Amino acid sequence: MSFRKVLVASVAAGLMLAAAGASAAPIFGFTPEHADRQQALEAKFDQALSGEEMKGWLETLSSEPNHVGSPHDKANAELMLAKFKSWGWDARIETFDILYPTPIAEKLELLGPHPFTAALHETPVEGDRTSVQADRALPPYVAYQGDGDVTADIVYVNYGMPEDYKALEHLGISVKGKIVLARYGAGWRGLKPQLAEEHGAVGCLIFSDPADDGYATDDVWPKGGQRPPQGVQRGSVEKMMIYAGDPLTPGVGATKDAKRLTRETATTILHIPALPISYADAQPFLAAMGGPLAPRNFRGALPITYRTGGVGAASAHLLVKSDWSLKPIYDVIAVMKGKEFPDQWVIRGNHHDGWVFGATDPLSGNVVLMEEAKAIGALARTGWRPKRTLVYASWDAEEPGLIGSTEWAEAHAAELQKKAVAYVNSDSNERGFLGAEGSHSLQSLVNQVARDVTDPETGATVATRRRARAQVEGSRPGAREEAKAEAEIAAKGGEMPLAPLGSGSDYSAFIQHLGIASINLGYGGEGEMGGVYHSLYDSYDHYLRYGDPDFRYEVALAQTAGRVMLRLADADVPPMRLAPVSGAVSRYLKEVKQLVEKARTDDARFVALSQSNAFALSDDPTHPTHPPAAETPVEPLDFSAMDAAAERLARATTAFDTAYAAAVGHLSRAQAAALEPVMSGLEQALTAPEGLPGRPWFHHMVYAPGMLTGYGAKTLPGIREAIESRRWAEAQAYIAVVARTLDGYSSRLEQTTTTLAAK
């Protein structure tokens, strides 16, 4: 067939497939009769699931603090090991030795006329049974800050994001030599001390403002579910967007004898001391501040006038000192060998370490993973075996830096890149709506699974409920363009697009470092869980009231993730549809081009405003401000390589999807065996060996956590971030790199299509 004819034919086939996907009958990747068998299997799987059982495990696992290095962290790993074995899995614990600082000394004082010493402590509260163990927890801290003992004036930097520093410059406020006070929100926690350090600050405090996370959002724990005045959000501030995992062993597993960097040469550790504090501790500092009135978007919900400080400011003394010794971590790995393709691995993971008790984060997800493993064990006892190998992993040390998963992925990199079909992650799970992010090759699979799981609260399918929400959200006045587009797709009953993966849970090493197709699944959006995130109060009692009180969404997640695993394991051909990949790439390409256009418009506006002296003339001379500095003007960018690559990709995915639909169930055993590693390796063709600018650990050219978002994903990151930071030469260079990568992917696809068609 000629090119053109292929295109037309396969577009039609693609539409048919999409239409078929919306009906109830087949399962993607299975012949009709195999689909019947699969549905029967899934029904049996569902029958083995028990909310009560998960509830019991959750209570046990969250009964004591289980941070990295704690006795209960190790005990939980050993408990799981025994369980996996008892369910018939081939299980083991893999241990790594990682740099994990734990606080030895912390002090924070307000100096001056109204001295105040911060409590830095979360107190036990009535109705939260484990909170009496407060003293067995580590004190609130952020991992991988810099340690230090500093005394300086304080500057309030709002969320501490780049635009906040611009706003402060506008007011003539510098943080050089100061301690910054930032509130949680708007960007990942670790960016706050990092940007503070880059701007010359000597220390960083991060507090939870009640506007975002406290009484303004609802009644506080234990009256309600929200963050109480003394509650503190712990967390990691490791620069995971440079590389994830142990700071001392980038790219390799932190095994006993691994070659290690020193703390000083590790590039993911900060240099200035930092502490997270409660809003009760923050208020006296904020109230004491002088300086200009804080801009409107800096204002939180404390009953004070928010000022920036920096001029006639309050002064503070901050001390943080940590134990920087190596600590052991325990990954629990359970394997059930595939009967047809034992060297094709479908991997499922959730972490088990928490900041304190971690009932929601991560144990609500971890007990689901256990329940799936138990149910799969029960299926296996009936004689069934997966076609492909299943690997269930409960990671340690996710909280400090996705370390358990990353070290394991790095230690087994070569084998994983050869064998891994996909990685399926979960973490916290609550009542609500299905959230799904990940590789677009798995979008159709996820959508079909969502069609086959019933929402516990409404009795509709979770797909229908997710569509309903998208429709309502997208119809709100002022909804963002993205939400409107999703609402339109939802209204037409189309496939809901997967959000891209950034960072923040254990999929990072799999997708972004190794190029293994990954998805992250979880329910949420109805509870009031934010209020205890990473605090002493993320407890079993809180989860029972606000997480998923009757464990029905725990069962729903097991049904969802379990189906994804079972279908990936048993499909005739690994269930990947690739039109969503080219669709996503085209959308992202359009977006980055719009960024350039926007930068051009901004430039023109800035020049006009400067030339007419409008900044100075519109200023209040009693509160003078500094006009914004001129930015590097937009340089011409040539997108033709990307345009061509995106077009070729669109043709290649359409051809593949058509060939795939025709081939399922019609391949010889030898053909299928030959195809398996090709299919599982497809996502790796979206990686480039040189990685992203300044962070070679990140190989994926379509998804990455943003350098200035931390968790939030940036798509086509090499191009997009260069444009956003106005590094035009780098943008042009990555247009070439990404286009080359996409061409490689298309080429691989074209070959695979030929293989599929040769039935």
Residues that bind a copy of itself (CB under 8 A): 210, 215-220, 224, 226, 293, 299, 301-306, 431-433, 457-458, 460, 464-465, 467-469, 471-473, 475, 491, 526, 605, 608-609, 612-618, 620-622
What is the sign of the dihedral through the CA atoms of 301, 303, 304 and 309?
A: negative
**Cβ proximity of 525 and 508 under 8 Å:** no
CB of 613 to a copy of itself, least distance (A): 7
Residue placing its CB nearer to a copy of itself in the complex, 97 or 548: 548
349 close to 394: Cβ distance less than 8 angstroms: yes
Q: Between residues 381 and 598, which has the closer beta carbon with respect to a copy of itself?
A: 598
- Kindly tell me which of 614 and 662 has the beta carbon lying closer to a copy of itself: 614
Instruction: Point out which residues pair with 705 in neighbouring strands.
Output: 713
Nearer to a copy of itself, 134 or 301 (CB): 301
HSE-CB of 499 using CA atoms within 13 angstroms: 18
Contact criterion met (CB below 8 Å) for 349 and 402? no
CB of 221 to a copy of itself, least distance (A): 12
State the nearest-atom distance from the C-beta of 614 to a copy of itself, in Å. Answer: 4
Question: Dihedrals φ, ψ of 329, to 5°?
Answer: -125, 155
- To a copy of itself, the closest distance from the beta carbon of 705 in angstroms equals 24
For residues 179 and 205, the answer to whether their CB atoms sit within 8 Å is yes
Exposure string of 116-143, with b = 16+ CB inside 10 Å and e = fewer, is bebbbbbeebeebebbebbeebbbbbbb
CB of 620 to a copy of itself, least distance (A): 4
How far apart are alpha carbons 281 and 298 in whole angstroms? 18
526 versus 690: smaller Cβ distance to a copy of itself:
526
Nearest of 707, 710, 695, 700 to residue 737 by alpha carbon? 700
Q: Find the shortest distance in angstroms from Cβ 482 to a copy of itself.
A: 16
* 339 vs 476, beta carbon nearer a copy of itself: 476
Tokens (6 digits) for 276? 């997270």
Minimum distance, C-beta of residue 487 to a copy of itself, in the bound complex (Å): 9
DSSP string, 369-434: HHHHHHHHHHHHHTT---SEEEEEEEES-HHHHSHHHHHHHHHTHHHHHHHEEEEEE-----SEEE
Least distance between a copy of itself and beta carbon 433 (Å)? 8
Cβ proximity to a copy of itself: between 111 and 216 the closer is 216
Q: Among 304, 231, 191, which Cα is nearest to 533's? A: 231
By beta-carbon proximity to a copy of itself, the closer residue of 20 and 472 is: 472
Between 414 and 617, CB nearer to a copy of itself: 617
Nearest CB to a copy of itself, comparing residues 149 and 488: 488
Residue pair 85/91 in contact (Cβ under 8 Å)? The answer is yes
Q: C-beta of 561: minimal distance to a copy of itself in Å?
A: 22
- Angstrom CA distances, 699 to 243, 513, 704, 716, stand at 11, 5, 9, 11
Q: How far lies 123's CA from each of 62, 105, 139, 163, 213, in Å?
A: 18, 18, 11, 35, 18
Minimum Å gap between C-beta 622 and a copy of itself is 7
C-beta separation of 174 from 312 below 8 A = no
